Structure 1
Amino acid sequence: MKILSGDIGGTNSRLALCDVEGNTVRRDIQAIYDSRRYESLADIARAFITEHKVEVETACFGVPGPVHGRQARVTNLPWRVDADELERNLAIDSVYLLNDLEANAHGLATLTEADFRELRPGEPGAVGNAGLLSAGTGLGEAGLFWDGRHHRPFACEGGHTDFAPGDDDEIELLRFLRARVGGHVSWERVVSGPGMVTLYEFLKQRDPGAESKEVAEALANGDPAEEITKAALRGGDSLSERTVQWFLALYGAEAGNVALKFFAVGGVYLGGGIAPKLASLLPQSRFIERFGGKGRMGALLDRIGLSIVMNDKAALQGAASYAARRSRGEPV
């Protein structure tokens, strides 16, 4: 079954024409668009259909932000998305909308063992709910309910829940952020690309002489989170290394929160763009320590497996898989 799938982001939107057979998704045609250059999702989809001269009967798009029924407002873009309008404007029979992390969660079943890097194995034979969180431009989260036979993904907006400091430094960080953004400070403010930059700026404020000239120039000319990550991976830049290590500790703390909220004994998965880049640093970081540092629940969390999703096409494949199952009348 040929399906147009989309992984829509505030910066880039990825579209693909997919062929779906069971849990296998083949991406036949792919393209990336600068989301900010388009006035709507319909314009991007129309550009893809026109450029590649394809006919589309079914489409599914994963969009960042809450999806209410068949409508959504995209986070970080002035877009209102309506599935009924997309069907009319694009002459597509069936259009489905998913939260982007829900699309990612559907995509997990389409991946192979090689698409995951195990950070820690779970308890042998464990089955049950699972959790997914993805740090990138923002912090997305989704759950996977275990119905006794299959995982059923569902969306949430857990990345916007209140950030909870774990020590005196993080209490000071919270005060720093409250002064910047106002009363509500979410986990997304610290566990995301912009959050990594905030951590860097906070540490630099406490130690003004710590920033190297090379990194300062790179931050001024490139993507700040990307440059901090590169500097930490190269080694030799103390400020970037401390920033990334703190970031990973906070990532672990919120991953543990996700595990508890979803009772994710079936595993917790790290998606998004940042975790795969930092995969070599994760095992030596405080991620696992902070993941399990939940007091009386520590023993439960110690039994939960942790894996990094290394395939960045999971959302595209998940959207296609969801649309195929809906078209076949199968439960999703």
Structure 2
Amino acid sequence: MIKQLIYGDIGGTKTILQLAEIRDGEIHQQFTYRYDSAAFVTFSDMLRDFLTRTETVNHPVAACFAIAGPIVAQQTKVTNLPWQISSTNISDEFSIPVVKLINDFEAAALAIESLSPNDLITLQTGQVNAQGMRVVLGAGTGMGVAWLTWLEGRYFALPTEAGHMDFAPVNELQIHLFKALHDKFGHVSVERLLSGSGLTNIFNFLQMNAAIASDLAPVNLEEDSGATITALAQTRKHPIAIKSLNLFSEIYGAYAGNLALAGLCRGGVYIAGGIAPRIINILSSGGFMRAFRDKGRFSALMNEIPVHVITNTEISLLGAKQEAHNLFNSQD
């Protein structure tokens, strides 16, 4: 009997589902479909449609789905959708013996070992420590973070909500930025700076306070205008947008360095998320790594930690695939 896996990357805007076969211990992708998530009332409706399209006659032996947001007791509510998803309910409804839900950054962490050199841009080669602790972080709609720790012959991913840690300003400009955001929000988490809306917060602050703004027409932005600011910097050379990206990069680097120290991540730091690949010229210009390494007495250590930007846009799907394979192997 042919044994099949289902895995997917579930988001509030789009969902990608894949069906694969296990042959000779390897995963062979068979069918992929991309969905507009909002077109379905429930995830079960979408999964039923997918299985119909695949025309599979056998029930999959395992399934794993990466979802943006926290997973509690194998249940979650998808951000920006009315979907309530439970692994137990999916298993029962579709007769899939093993179903697992994982956080999208947990999935990204699991995918690291599946990446090719073409999926990475290296900011610092460092000194790779085999089986060393790793961390994956990424700014997008929010700030996601997951750890990777070596255990029992392979890496295991540990999801976190580290994007909601306190923002730690490191110079006078960042202190003023912190005060402005504190007046607006109260608690200032890292995500208030390192996300699409965070880049917007930085731009608005600089536009209000920088002397350079006096001879420029003000730019009115939506709450999450990271893509607009990036375009202003890259195509129109807007000075405040350029300064915003540079400040964003410095804050990003300092935070990545903090996580690297917290986990002693000699196995590497991996920058994921939607923003980093779009501003790779900024991240590569020096400010990110200077802030990453600027840790006082531990600056020499920071030079030894590998740092990479992940350019593969389907990394969470790859991680769900890897975990579905792990689920299959654990049944033997």
Classify the TM-score, shorter chain: 0.7 to 0.9
Query: Which runs of no fewer than 5 residues in structure 2 stay unpaired?
Result: none
**Conservation of the 8 A alpha-carbon contact between 1:204 and 1:211:** no
Q: For 2:245, what is the secondary structure of its paired residue?
A: helix
Which residue number corresponds to residue 312 of structure 1?
A: 313
Instruction: Using the TM superposition, give the Cα deviation of residue 319 of structure 1 relative to its aligned residue in structure 2, in angstroms.
Output: 0.6
Q: For 1:163, what is the secondary structure of its paired residue?
A: coil
Matching residue's letter, 2:149: F
Which residue number corresponds to residue 73 of structure 2?
A: 69
Which residue number corresponds to residue 120 of structure 1?
A: 124
Structure-2 separation of matches of 1:209 and 1:266: 46
TM-score using structure 2 length: 0.87
Q: CA RMSD in A?
A: 2.7
Q: For 1:328, what is the secondary structure of its paired residue?
A: helix
Structure-2 separation of matches of 1:175 and 1:258: 23
Q: For 1:279, what is the secondary structure of its paired residue?
A: helix
Which residue number corresponds to residue 173 of structure 2?
A: 169
Shift of the 21–132 alpha-carbon distance from structure 1 to 2, 3 Å rule, reads: farther
Structure-1 separation of matches of 2:232 and 2:32: 31
Instruction: Using the TM superposition, give the Cα deviation of residue 51 of structure 1 relative to its aligned residue in structure 2, in angstroms.
Output: 4.2
Instruction: Using the TM superposition, give the Cα deviation of residue 299 of structure 1 relative to its aligned residue in structure 2, in angstroms.
Output: 1.7
TM-score using structure 1 length: 0.87
Structure-2 separation of matches of 1:144 and 1:298: 23
Q: Identity over aligned residues, as a percent?
A: 33
Query: Which of 1 and 2 has greater Rg?
Result: 2
Deviations 1:186-230 (A, max 9, x none): 1111111111111111111224546558xx48x57x972112112
Aligned partner of 1:196 among 195, 199, 202: 199
Shift of the 44–252 alpha-carbon distance from structure 1 to 2, 3 Å rule, reads: farther
Q: For 1:281, what is the secondary structure of its paired residue?
A: helix
Which residue number corresponds to residue 259 of structure 2?
A: 258
Aligned partner of 1:10 among 5, 9, 12: 12
Q: For 2:280, what is the secondary structure of its paired residue?
A: coil
Instruction: Using the TM superposition, give the Cα deviation of residue 17 of structure 1 relative to its aligned residue in structure 2, in angstroms.
Output: 2.4
Matching residue's letter, 2:195: S
Aligned partner of 2:102 among 98, 102, 107: 98
**Conservation of the 8 A alpha-carbon contact between 1:204 and 1:210:** no
Instruction: Using the TM superposition, give the Cα deviation of residue 101 of structure 1 relative to its aligned residue in structure 2, in angstroms.
Output: 0.5
Which residue number corresponds to residue 249 of structure 1?
A: 250
Matching residue's letter, 2:274: G
Structure-1 separation of matches of 2:217 and 2:14: 31
Structure-1 separation of matches of 2:312 and 2:27: 13
Query: Which runs of no fewer than 5 residues in structure 1 stay unpaired?
Result: none
Which residue number corresponds to residue 292 of structure 2?
A: 291
Which residue number corresponds to residue 139 of structure 2?
A: 135
Structure-1 separation of matches of 2:156 and 2:330: 15
